[in-house]
Structure 1
Amino acid sequence: MKRILFGAVLFLYLQVSAQQHFTDSIYKPKARKTLTYAEKDGQELYLDVYEPDNSFKNRPVFIFMHGGGFGFGSPRNDHEVKLAKIAASYGYVAVQISYRLTRKDQSFGCDFEAEGKIKTFKLAAEDFLDAVNFMISKKEEFKIDTEKIIIGGSSAGAEAVLSAAFNRDLLFKDASKYENLKFKGILSLAGAIVDKRYINKENAVPTVFFHGTADNLVPYATAPHHFCDKAEPGYLILDGSRSLADKLKKLDTSYMLNTFPEAGHEISGIPFDHLQIVFQYFDDVFLKGENQQIEHTF
């Protein structure tokens, strides 16, 4: 009986070993767990955790922030949920977060002053960083390796996570609350930041970018947000994916830039057709520490 049991365990081990940990769907995601990570402005901010059904310790965590112009959207959008379940099936603890939608039923375009836009980025980045700190406090419960934190976002969510990583010192008068937060990698879907000059050797993080060259909301390179006219209140220069990739290249930091010529803001959607290269990059660069600077044009 013991030989039969040992043989079954060995067979299962060999099956899993033949597949690639963190790059293949080899685990069943557990039922979603919902936790409150903060209460702000009368709102209960929550996050949804999707765990792989395995007993491994020190698992990487992938924390994602949805888009929606800081005015709408949900971590329970079908595509966000699908992404989380795929990540969990690869072995990640996948987290989708809610945050303050400070522009709900309000404009985030050229009639909204630039100073207000910067404050919006700050508040969303603050919520994101608080969610990350909360997950770190739950590391034992979810068996998380806090040295393997990968973050991501789409559109407004990408602007928030990029700001949290690269523009912390610009947006926060006192960022000491978050000084110990270190990220292994970033997934940015049509994102940008206020100022790439704040990226340096100390805070440079390997990043996977997706962006359309004709994005008329969030610039692909360096241009005004929403391409506002200089005379309009919402005129604010942002550094998009092309400019951020160039900065990381100069700093000899890994990046993958996925460019879609003539495509617009639809590239902010979850890139399901390209997830294999994304998670392979996660594994090779974010988790194993390889140095890769890659550019694709689709």
Structure 2
Amino acid sequence: MKRQISILFLFLVTGILTQAQEHYVGQIYADLVKSTHTYSDSLKLDFYTAKENEKDAARPLIVLVHGGGFSGGQRDNPLEVKFAQTMAAKGYAVASISYTLTRKGKATGFGCACPASEKMETFKQTTADILKAISYLKTNTEFSFDTQKIILAGSSAGAEGILNTAYMANHPEFKSLGDFPRIAAVVSLAGAVVDARYITKYNAVPGIFIHGDADNLVPYNSQPHHFCSAETPGFLPLDGDAFIAERLKHLDASYSLLTAEGGNHDWANLGYAFTNEIAQFLNDVIIKGEKIQNTETITQK
């Protein structure tokens, strides 16, 4: 199933849209096309591309995964749509995906009453869906992008999904999911992984991480998910964005950690405003091949 929608998306940068701007950094395209595809069973994705470069096989692909506690949210939330359009206008191909909302309608939710084993199954199911989406995009010839330049981006639950997909291929709980593709970079807005010890020099994927250091749901550093006590069913230690960035630093890999001092979980959404910083990092590490190791504090835009 496919639905084509032409979108005229005008970006005004100092009043003029010009090809002189740097590809993948500046906003160089105006006429965008969005198409909707079913990639697995009833799961869909929206594919965004600039009409002028929709056949460009050298461009990176961003796979975007929305947040919502694995019980809500959708691929065409306003923030996700704006992010996808903005990045497509810079020259990227963007696929914003739906995935199985494992916790939807569950009485225990995804907090401390949810058993840790069920949390792990939720993480695994999300990674399985992301892998299916990537496989569909790579094998469907109507999509043009560089398969060696696949970027995973997500917020909150989606950030947990993309980080586990990028880094946990060798974790015992994730090995059964099969082959994991090469990932070029990650963009995490308030995310965490199951165990950062599984990030090694062989899978130290570069990442840009945006997180509030007072997040009380998804840990900024290394704490239990939702800060559940050890006596609760939902006790599950996770390693957050700051911990992952430190691990990448130790492995001499590229990272950029943008910390909102005193910021809470709202930064899972507020981080979407930092498209210029995200695009610059991706361009530097993927297109130019530079090593970036950056830590800075940020405030709301």
Find 1:127's aligned residue among 122, 126, 129: 129
Does 2:196 correspond to 1:174? no
Structure 1 residue 215 displacement after superposition: 0.3
User: What SS is found at the alignment partner of 1:187?
Assistant: strand
Q: Secondary structure at the match of 1:160?
A: helix
2:15 alignment counterpart: none
Mean alpha-carbon deviation: is it higher for 262-271 or for 158-167?
A: 262-271
SS at match of 1:51: strand
Comparing 140-149 and 168-177, the one that deviates more:
168-177
Stretches of structure 1 lacking an aligned partner (at least 5 in a row): 1-14
8 A Cα contact 1:224 1:235, kept in partner: yes
TM-score by length of 1: 0.90
- Are the aligned partners of 1:114 and 1:234 in contact in 2 as well (CA < 8 Å)? yes
Structure 2 unaligned blocks of 5 or more: 1-17
Look up the SS of the partner of 1:26 in the other structure. Answer: coil
Contact 1:214 1:262 in 2 (8 A): yes
Deviation at 1:30, TM superposition (A): 2.7
The reply on whether 1:116 has 2:128 as its aligned counterpart is no
* 1:288 corresponding residue in structure 2: 288
Tell which deviates more after alignment, 205-214 or 142-151: 142-151
Match for residue 52 of structure 1 among 33, 40, 50: 50
Q: Give the equivalent residue in structure 1 for 2:158.
A: 157
Name the structure where helix makes up a greater proportion of residues.
Answer: 1
Deviation, 1:29, is 4.3
Q: 1:9-158 maps to which residues of 2 (within 5 A)?
A: 15-16=18-19, 18-39=20-41, 44-55=42-53, 56-106=56-106, 107-138=109-140, 140-158=141-159
1:154 is displaced (CA, Å) by 0.4
Following superposition, the deviation at residue 176 of structure 1 comes to: 3.5
One-letter amino acid of the structure 2 residue matched with residue 124 of structure 1: T
Q: Which is higher, the Rg of structure 1 or of structure 2?
A: 1
Q: What is the CA–CA distance in structure 2 between the aligned matches of 1:51 and 1:77, rounded to whole Å?
A: 18
Q: C-alpha displacement at 1:53, in angstroms?
A: 1.8
Q: Distance in 2 between matches of 1:141 and 1:28?
A: 21
Alpha-carbon separation, structure 2, partners of 1:288 and 1:141: 27
Taking structure 2 as the reference length, the TM-score comes to 0.89
> How much has 1:90 moved relative to structure 2?
0.4
Q: Is the 8 A contact 1:169 1:175 kept in 2?
A: no
| CA apart distance, 1:132 | 0.9
Q: What is the Cα deviation at residue 207 of structure 1?
A: 0.3
**Root mean square deviation of aligned Cα:** 1.2
Deviations 1:83-123 (CA, angstroms, capped at 9, x unpaired): 01001100011110000001002210000111110111000
CA contact 1:29–1:85 (8 Å) conserved in 2:
no
**What aligned pairs does 1:180-191 form with structure 2 within 5 A after superposition?**
181-191=181-191
Classify 1:174/1:272 alpha carbon distance in 2 versus 1 (closer, same or farther; 3 Å).
Answer: closer
Matches within 5 A, 1:247-262: 247-262=247-262
Q: Which stretch of the first structure deviates more once superposed, 169-178 or 78-87?
A: 169-178
How far the C-alpha of 1:168 sits from its partner, in A, is: 2.0
SS in 2 for 1:285: helix
Deviation of 1:272 after TM superposition, in Å, equals: 4.3
What is the CA–CA distance in structure 2 between the aligned matches of 1:108 and 1:47, rounded to whole Å? 24
Letter in 1 for 2:152: I
